[in-house]
A = this chain, B = another copy of it.
Amino acid sequence: MAKLHTKTVQAMVVSHGLKMTPQRRAIVEFLQSAIAHPTADEVLNAVNRKFPMTSRATVYNTLNWLKGEGMVREVYEGGFVRYDPNTSDHHHFVCRHCGKVEDIECSSISALKICTLPGNPQIEGYEVTVRGLCANCRKKKKS
């Protein structure tokens, strides 16, 4: 599964009869370069550094569209909605102390065996949130 890519977005935009704009491009590019999981506000600030007049509405429209197309994931942790540009199958680690959200490769976790669930729903996937103390906070606590 591909990570968020400008070309992919461009193609997606065109195939939907939409238009590629500098703002959309800037949003996508920021998301690509983001190491962490930015909030909508962080995206807005970042894009504003490039296009000082970008409005909140544009950022939300674009994020929601990307979400709808499955090109970003929404992650809610510590009372904030964050956007995750990594759409490849993966899980999350959340630090209970600093609140940081880190990606976990699928391969770091054993596959889940899900037995029959009540009602027998159709299972399409799953994601795991691991909680604990991140390396940094762990070190700080010790010293």
Whether the Cβ atoms of A112 and B110 lie closer than 8 Å is: yes
CB-CB < 8 A to A108: which residues of B?
114-117
Interface string of A93-133 (1 = CB under 8 A from B): 10110000010100111101111111111111111111111
Whether the Cβ atoms of B129 and A123 lie closer than 8 Å is: no
Whether the Cβ atoms of A124 and B119 lie closer than 8 Å is: no
Can you tell how many copies of this chain the complex includes? 2
Whether the Cβ atoms of A109 and B115 lie closer than 8 Å is: yes
Count residues on chain A whose CB falls below 8 Å from chain B CBs. 39
Whether the Cβ atoms of A135 and B112 lie closer than 8 Å is: no
A138-B117 contact given A112-B112, A126-B129, A128-B126, CB 8 Å threshold: no
The residue that A121 contacts in the complex, of B95, B118, B125, with Cβ under 8 A, is: B95
A interface residues, Cβ below 8 angstroms from B: 74, 76, 79, 81, 93, 95-96, 102, 104, 107-110, 112-136, 138
